[in-house]
Chains A and B, each alone.
Chain A
């Protein structure tokens, strides 16, 4: 650069000594230039202050809000769900505390490795976790629950290694507990995370993604009562999402408790007897017997005392979210669909149990009387000899009046009644089926109830719309329907409701499983009073006649011997429904004591064979338990009727 020559040094020395007139070497306009510096500096400071005034004074409140939403997090606190008790206040479902892992998506996704570590720890795949975190239908700035009811070891690990898990929180929530295991699983139902559709429908009720709701049973039907009101905790969090202190606390209101109409003792007996009955049928000639249902009702008010469905399932599997493997096992076709409550969701052909409806209808319509006799030769030839139909007793019942026709389940007698219904016209038999509530839901307080089916002209045409040759209703259809064969379908609950109406003298009550809803102070907030759906439009005499017939079934009819040794008279009816391609479905519907009915019990066993031999003993066991009758195991009974 050549700046270090001697001349330069000399010049510097002169300046230091103050000898040079260096001041004159400044540019002429130096004052102006330095004034330019001042102007520039003032401009800079003005711009900055202007910007600050705009941000801090004019827009300050909006930034203030953003700062608050940065640091405040509202953590919802789930309300403890209400307990569920049986009619005697025995606990069926309670709660226990459980820990859930929730993750703040924005934080965990930014910090590498957090999700991988969580995957290793929880045994989930990173994809499963990421799917939960990136679900688009929830607020991206809210934490998501990725696993519930987590093992204590995992919880301990996360608490000890908080630094490795930014954005990961552990929250306490209440988990359902079933002190009696899977008893009454179908009535109680199970819980699960709210689905997208449910969320859409219930958003206005304060539900959020990840909430746990009742999916079946009374857990679903009484969700409104059980859930309670969520509380919340407003906490201050740091940038890593870790809560530092509580700013505000709103305690949750616990859900209401349910008092069921179920008597857990009778329920247990029903479930055991049903399982035994199916096992017995299987051990005998009916290898395909694998499913069934039992309904026990109080005929005086519509209360369901027991409701069993086989096969059953363990509601514990649903705690903390059911694994996909377990779900697959429970819904696989080979599983026998244990989640389905066959007592209300399955519509079965009724077999001869329907003769009660045919009979009462015929008496009411004046087609027959208690004393009218018909000669059963084993064959009924009302349509001519070439269209002869046979009674289940090939040798014939001889001369039978109405009561013994019911007692013996004589098909010839009921063929004749069906024939007379057909001649009368106006689909009167269908009318009576509908009067008894078949073809529509009973209105029980449980979800997913089936309606059953009353076949008629219109239905047949519609049902066979691709098969024109089967579209016409023929008289034989009515005749078949009269003995309970053919296309009529009903649920075990509908049958129990109908037999209750017979037992109580003609009143159809709406069945229900919850007696009352009680708040945490023990006050009843909702009471299920008996609701009359229908007063049967029949005379007391007609019902009394039918009741006598049902009593005779047990005394000396198709179920003779079934209740031998039982300390009180029992009334009932066997049924054996023929199903194409399958073994017969066994039915028994009855009530006891016959003269002052306290309990109605209905049992169906799919492909279990004859009603009196397969389903009858189950009903006997259940009625014995309900009425405190000491029994030595299940009876064996013979029945060849249908």
Chain B
């Protein structure tokens, strides 16, 4: 007899269940969004995605087996490695849609900025755990920002504004959990807002980034140009109504009115085909995963684990907020994938690594 009670002391079943739920949900949506992309092979994209799922699960299991605390031995090589890869992307990476974000290895295309997110979580948590939670000295906070500054800059330059902002969100989440004095935290948020204003006023954004932001403010400015994506996305979500149009029956999706329907705008497919009910179910799964993640942070036996979990949770919350927000027109369009749902191997691997780390911390929470 397997004693589930005993096992569940070490295995966070609700977390695993919510992640499996998300992967199954995501596979359905990816299938619906891509079934007609490759004539004669409706499973083309889904199959690739499932290969990534398998690889990601294997990777997550490896991560679970090794004590997460050993990661702290690797933070310098990890940091150097990700900085090097990001530099490599900058000079040699494959470009698409005007940005250099990818590195091709064999038949697979990696997006190092996705992996950068989880690596920054690890290295930043490692650095701050060394300060033993003492961020009352602003020097430590500044050191933390110096730490993230380099990869952040390299990613921003690709340009991948969305991921850069995601890394900022992770940083804020980790330093908040690490006990930064609230007043200092407020100052940082204030500086952040000032930076946004400066970026706007001095045109530090690329034209297309500016356009997307303006379109976010008023999508009807240019309904056939930059506003097209957002307009079609809103129509898709809204027209799903309460119950949705049904699996594979979304007209916006299946007739291709919805652009980037398998990646950035995949939530519009959820909204259109499964309606408010389906969106509620998806957000329910996310809420379970996030709450369990925060619980892991609370239960962690040490600060490093807490900060790791906090960073991973911050990463997910930010992405969910921005992605669903932009699809429904309340957030700027910044090209951020929806965790576990959007088509894309790098993001999926990164997120499964995060799950692996959370399970690891949970299993080793006993002193």
- Write the residues of chain A forming the contact surface with B, with a CB cutoff of 8 angstroms: 1, 3-4, 8-9, 12, 15-16, 18, 20-23, 25-31, 33-34, 36-38, 40-42, 44-45, 47-49, 51-53, 55-57, 59-64, 66-68, 70-71, 106, 110, 236-240, 244
- Does the CB pair A59–B238 fall under 8 Å? yes
Q: Complex Cα distance A228/B294, Å?
A: 72
Q: Complex Cα distance A31/B177, Å?
A: 9
- Does the CB pair B317–A55 fall under 8 Å? no
Q: Complex Cα distance A63/B238, Å?
A: 5
Q: Complex Cα distance A450/B255, Å?
A: 57
- Does the CB pair B283–A45 fall under 8 Å? yes
Chain A residues whose CB sits within 8 angstroms of the CB of B291 once the complex forms: 38, 41
B179, B271, B272, B286: which contacts A30 (Cβ < 8 A)? B179
A21, A41, A48, A57: which contacts B325 (Cβ < 8 A)? A48
B198: CB under 8 A from chain A? no
Supply 21 A–B pairs (Cβ within 8 Å), ascending by A. Answer: A12-B73, A25-B129, A30-B298, A36-B176, A37-B294, A44-B320, A49-B283, A51-B325, A52-B276, A52-B328, A53-B276, A56-B240, A56-B241, A56-B242, A60-B240, A66-B238, A66-B239, A70-B232, A71-B252, A71-B257, A236-B251
- Does the CB pair B328–A60 fall under 8 Å? no
Chain B residues whose CB sits within 8 angstroms of the CB of A238 once the complex forms: 255-257
- Does the CB pair B367–A26 fall under 8 Å? no
Q: Complex Cα distance A18/B242, Å?
A: 51
- Does the CB pair B294–A34 fall under 8 Å? yes
- Does the CB pair B70–A16 fall under 8 Å? yes
Chain A residues whose CB sits within 8 angstroms of the CB of B67 once the complex forms: 16
Chain B residues whose CB sits within 8 angstroms of the CB of A3 once the complex forms: 75-76, 126-127, 130
- Does the CB pair B256–A25 fall under 8 Å? no
Q: Complex Cα distance A56/B244, Å?
A: 9
Given known contacts A37-B313, A56-B279, is B133 in contact with A27 (CB within 8 Å)? yes
Q: Complex Cα distance A356/B183, Å?
A: 114
B178: CB under 8 A from chain A? yes
Q: Complex Cα distance A30/B310, Å?
A: 11
Q: Complex Cα distance A526/B310, Å?
A: 86
Q: Complex Cα distance A15/B70, Å?
A: 10
Chain A residues whose CB sits within 8 angstroms of the CB of B321 once the complex forms: 44, 47-48
- Does the CB pair A38–B306 fall under 8 Å? no
Chain A residues whose CB sits within 8 angstroms of the CB of B130 once the complex forms: 3, 8
Chain A residue at minimum C-beta to C-beta distance from B275: A56
Closest chain-B Cβ to A142's Cβ sits at a distance in Å of 15
B121: CB under 8 A from chain A? no
Residues 269-286 of chain B, each 1 if its beta carbon lies under 8 Å from chain A, else 0: 001100110011001001
A30, A66, A240: which contacts B306 (Cβ < 8 A)? A30
- Does the CB pair B73–A9 fall under 8 Å? yes
Chain A residues whose CB sits within 8 angstroms of the CB of B317 once the complex forms: 40-41, 44
B28: CB under 8 A from chain A? no
CB interface residues, B 306-345, toward A, < 8 Å: 306, 310, 313-314, 317, 320-321, 324-325, 328, 330
- Does the CB pair B133–A25 fall under 8 Å? yes
- Does the CB pair B176–A239 fall under 8 Å? no
Q: Complex Cα distance A206/B235, Å?
A: 31
Given known contacts A67-B252, A238-B255, is B240 in contact with A22 (CB within 8 Å)? no
Given A18-B367, A71-B252, 8 other A-B residues pairs in contact with their CB atoms under 8 A: A15-B302, A34-B177, A44-B321, A48-B328, A52-B237, A52-B324, A57-B241, A70-B251
- Does the CB pair A45–B286 fall under 8 Å? yes
Q: Complex Cα distance A53/B276, Å?
A: 7
Closest chain-B Cβ to A30's Cβ sits at a distance in Å of 7
B69: CB under 8 A from chain A? yes
Chain A residues whose CB sits within 8 angstroms of the CB of B252 once the complex forms: 67, 70-71
Chain A residues whose CB sits within 8 angstroms of the CB of B306 once the complex forms: 26, 30, 34
Chain A residue at minimum C-beta to C-beta distance from B252: A67
Chain B residue at minimum C-beta to C-beta distance from A40: B317
Chain A residue at minimum C-beta to C-beta distance from B70: A16
Given known contacts A3-B76, A30-B177, is B297 in contact with A37 (CB within 8 Å)? yes
Closest chain-B Cβ to A38's Cβ sits at a distance in Å of 6
Q: Complex Cα distance A51/B287, Å?
A: 17
Closest chain-A Cβ to B177's Cβ sits at a distance in Å of 6
Q: Which are the 7 A-B pairs with shortest beta-carbon distances?
A: A63-B238, A27-B179, A22-B302, A60-B241, A67-B239, A239-B256, A238-B255
Chain A residue at minimum C-beta to C-beta distance from B67: A16
Q: Complex Cα distance A47/B331, Å?
A: 11
Q: Complex Cα distance A443/B301, Å?
A: 105
Q: Complex Cα distance A61/B240, Å?
A: 9
Q: Complex Cα distance A41/B72, Å?
A: 28
Main secondary structure of the interface of A (DSSP, over half): helix
Q: Complex Cα distance A461/B153, Å?
A: 92
Given known contacts A45-B286, A239-B256, is B302 in contact with A25 (CB within 8 Å)? yes
Of listed B127, B256, B276, residue having the most chain A CB within 10 A: B276
- Does the CB pair B238–A55 fall under 8 Å? yes
- Does the CB pair A67–B328 fall under 8 Å? no
Of listed A1, A38, A67, A236, residue having the most chain B CB within 10 A: A67
Q: Complex Cα distance A56/B310, Å?
A: 32
CB interface residues, B 154-183, toward A, < 8 Å: 173, 176-179
Chain A residues whose CB sits within 8 angstroms of the CB of B287 once the complex forms: 41-42, 45
- Does the CB pair B132–A25 fall under 8 Å? yes
Total A-B residue contacts, Cβ distance less than 8 Å: 182
Chain A residue at minimum C-beta to C-beta distance from B36: A238
- Does the CB pair A23–B294 fall under 8 Å? no
- Does the CB pair B302–A33 fall under 8 Å? no
Of listed B238, B257, B298, residue having the most chain A CB within 10 A: B238
- Does the CB pair A57–B242 fall under 8 Å? yes
- Does the CB pair A239–B257 fall under 8 Å? yes
Residues 221-244 of chain B, each 1 if its beta carbon lies under 8 Å from chain A, else 0: 000100000001011111111100
Q: Complex Cα distance A36/B129, Å?
A: 20
B224, B257, B301, B330: which contacts A51 (Cβ < 8 A)? B330
B349: CB under 8 A from chain A? no
A4, A41, A60: which contacts B290 (Cβ < 8 A)? A41
Given known contacts A18-B367, A45-B287, A70-B252, is B276 in contact with A25 (CB within 8 Å)? no
Given known contacts A22-B302, A23-B367, A27-B178, is B133 in contact with A52 (CB within 8 Å)? no
B120: CB under 8 A from chain A? no
Chain B residue at minimum C-beta to C-beta distance from A61: B241
Q: Complex Cα distance A236/B239, Å?
A: 16
Given known contacts A34-B310, A44-B317, is B176 in contact with A55 (CB within 8 Å)? no
Chain A residue at minimum C-beta to C-beta distance from B366: A18
Q: Complex Cα distance A29/B182, Å?
A: 11
- Does the CB pair A12–B72 fall under 8 Å? yes
B303: CB under 8 A from chain A? yes
Chain A residues whose CB sits within 8 angstroms of the CB of B239 once the complex forms: 60, 63-64, 66-68
CB interface residues, B 61-79, toward A, < 8 Å: 67, 69-70, 72-73, 75-76
B126, B179, B279, B304: which contacts A52 (Cβ < 8 A)? B279
Chain B residues whose CB sits within 8 angstroms of the CB of A63 once the complex forms: 234-235, 237-239, 241
Chain A residues whose CB sits within 8 angstroms of the CB of B72 once the complex forms: 12
Q: Complex Cα distance A22/B128, Å?
A: 13
Chain B residues whose CB sits within 8 angstroms of the CB of A47 once the complex forms: 321, 325, 330
Chain A residues whose CB sits within 8 angstroms of the CB of B304 once the complex forms: 15, 22
Chain B residue at minimum C-beta to C-beta distance from A53: B276
- Does the CB pair A67–B69 fall under 8 Å? no
Chain A residues whose CB sits within 8 angstroms of the CB of B235 once the complex forms: 63, 66-67, 70
Closest chain-A Cβ to B135's Cβ sits at a distance in Å of 8
Q: Complex Cα distance A37/B295, Å?
A: 10
Chain B residues whose CB sits within 8 angstroms of the CB of A28 once the complex forms: 179
Closest chain-B Cβ to A319's Cβ sits at a distance in Å of 35
Of listed B237, B302, B367, residue having the most chain A CB within 10 A: B302
Chain B residue at minimum C-beta to C-beta distance from A49: B283
- Does the CB pair B176–A33 fall under 8 Å? yes
Given known contacts A18-B367, A36-B176, is B73 in contact with A64 (CB within 8 Å)? no
Chain B residues whose CB sits within 8 angstroms of the CB of A53 once the complex forms: 276
A33, A38, A68, A237: which contacts B179 (Cβ < 8 A)? A33
